[in-house]
Amino acid sequence: MTGISGAEVVPRGRIDALDVARGVALIAMATYHFSWDLEFFGYLEPGTSTTGPLKYYARSIAASFLFLVGIGIVLAHANGIRWRSFAKRWVKIAAAAALITIATWFATRETFVFFGILHHIAFASLAGLLFLGLPWWVLAVIAIAVFFGTPFLQSPIYTPLGFAWTGLSATPPRSNDFVPVLPWFSAVLAGMAAAKLVFVGRTPPRVLTPEGWSATGVPSRLIALFGRWSLTFYLVHQPILIGLVFLASLVFPAQPPGFSASCTDACGAQFGAEPCAVYCACAEAELAAAGKLDDLLTEPATAQSDLETSAIIAQCAFEAGTTGDGNNR
């Protein structure tokens, strides 16, 4: 394949600004994975890292990675595809993706990673070649169409795991890292469109040239180094982080959920907030006075068989009206 038309001004050599951008994305990813590790070891409430702000934080990180992948595809191949170096790098990415799949299969089989960010990058590195010849505005239109059109293509027939990687499944599978082709490939196409708009056939801003801005300070040089060694960083950071959290858990183990919170959650689903607040406050106070509360928190199965504990729970339930089938008296 020949180079892209008008690519004679595409800069050759590493661009520090892009390395720093990639490094910042990696650091952000590490902070998110750290929150996942804290949740895994019980320091955060279940679901914290996969709902609310952290959910969208993770998605923005993945999108930024894939956007940068799109930029890299254009810059790497603008003057022609160097097949040998391309194949060498692609094999490394694919092998790393396979390693992640194997490791998570043994570590967390129910939520193992079968098509995560590395798998998507391996896919996009190949699929992106098919779009190299398109002008930036066509790439932008396709990216928008892919992003907004994916929900209309999803169907239950794609639910089996063999189809889930496409992103067409109406119900996403359980996985610790799931970045399917659709709609995420739109971020890659958007990056390619941006790179063509900025670099191809025109002079880019000086900061986006090898001769322009340089990472000279210690922080920026370190971040740029992470960006240059992104695959290595990706593979080693999580084992290090989860190892550190594990060691911390040996010294400062996570505390079990407080009685009030766990009691309210369990009771509220059946009897409602108001009577459960009365019941839980009564039970907590009476169990603490009887010296039974700590036993109930640490050894619930054993404590609940204790006659005095059972009597306290039954009396508080009667007073609060949280007995029977959920119809408050």
Percentage of the chain surpassing pLDDT 90?
Answer: 47
In this structure, the answer to whether residues 190 and 279 fall within a common structural domain is no
Between 294 and 224, whose confidence is greater? 224
Percentage of the chain surpassing pLDDT 70?
Answer: 86
3-state helix, strand, coil in the chain (%, to 5): 70, 0, 30
Give the model's confidence band at 166: pLDDT under 50 very low, under 70 low, under 90 confident, else very high.
Answer: very high
In a domain? residue 329: no
Give the model's confidence band at 244: pLDDT under 50 very low, under 70 low, under 90 confident, else very high.
Answer: very high
Q: What is the mean pLDDT of residues 163-170?
A: 90
In a domain? residue 1: no
Q: Which domain holds residue 191?
A: 7-251
**CA atoms of 267 and 102, how far apart (whole Å):** 40
pLDDT at 269 over 90: no
Three-class DSSP category at 170: coil
pLDDT at 207 over 80: no
Give the model's confidence band at 218: pLDDT under 50 very low, under 70 low, under 90 confident, else very high.
Answer: confident
Which pLDDT does position 61 carry in this prediction?
A: 96
Question: Across 20-24, 263-267, 306-310, which has the greatest mean pLDDT?
Answer: 20-24
- Cross-strand partners of 155: 169
**Domain boundary, last residue among 251, 267, 288:** 251
In this structure, the answer to whether residues 158 and 298 fall within a common structural domain is no
Which pLDDT does position 311 carry in this prediction?
A: 86
In this structure, the answer to whether residues 106 and 191 fall within a common structural domain is yes
pLDDT digits (tens, 9 = 90+) for 41-91: 888 877 788 888 999 999 999 999 999 999 999 988 877 888 898 999 999
Angle among Cα 225, 55, 238 to the nearest 5 degrees reads 40
Cβ pair 233, 26 in contact under 8 A: yes
**CA atoms of 129 and 145, how far apart (whole Å):** 19
**How much is the pTM?**
0.75
Q: Helices 230-251 & 83-107, crossing angle to 10 degrees?
A: 20
Which pLDDT does position 144 carry in this prediction?
A: 98
Q: What is the mean pLDDT of residues 285-298?
A: 79
Between 55 and 209, whose confidence is greater? 55
**Domain boundary, last residue among 218, 251, 284:** 251
In this structure, the answer to whether residues 186 and 96 fall within a common structural domain is yes
pLDDT at 183 over 50: yes
Mean pLDDT of the chain: 85
pLDDT at 326 over 60: no
Between 215 and 166, whose confidence is greater? 166
Please write down the HEC assignment for all residues of 256-324. CCCHHHHHHHHHHHHHCHHHHHHHHHHHHHHHHHCCCHHHHHHCHHHHCCCHHHHHHHHHHHHHHCCCC
In this structure, the answer to whether residues 294 and 157 fall within a common structural domain is no
In a domain? residue 266: yes
Between 257 and 172, whose confidence is greater? 172
**CA atoms of 140 and 193, how far apart (whole Å):** 6
With 0-12 CB in 10 A as exposed, 13-18 as middle and 19+ as buried, what is 211?
A: exposed
Which pLDDT does position 327 carry in this prediction?
A: 44
In a domain? residue 235: yes
Number of domains in the chain: 2
Residue partners of 157: CB distance under 8 A and separation at least 6: 163
